[in-house]
Amino acid sequence: MSFADVDSAGSVAGTEARARDASAAAPAGPLSEVRAGERVIVVEVGLDAELAAWLGAMGLGPGQTLTSIRRAAFGGPLHVRTGSGGELAINATLARSILVAPLPSQRRVG
């Protein structure tokens, strides 16, 4: 296990459980489809292990929350804020490989 496998509270099982709960409760979709202002939880990172570990260390691993801040014009990068407060610009192609689900407070009823 690397440091990328442990969340800020030191709990690997906790982040994996949150990702499983989110994917079971709401349909997952790519990060590239998230609108500005939406908060989501990362369900899965469909990339090679090294890149997925780096993204996890940056706050984009399963079970971690993200807020979409803005989208660049013409298919440019997606600007996100991680649950720990870091901000990143994610390439649109990379964002399609990160599956996310809405947080429970954002789910629509009916």
Question: Exposed, middle or buried by CB within 10 Å (0-12, 13-18, 19+), for 5?
Answer: middle
pTM for the model stands at: 0.70
HSE-CB for 84 with a 13 A CA cutoff:
13
| Joined tokens for residue 94 | 């990379």
Please give the Cα distance from 24 to 17 (Å, whole number): 11
Residue-wise pLDDT tens digits, 61-107: 999 999 999 988 888 899 999 998 999 999 999 999 999 999 876 55
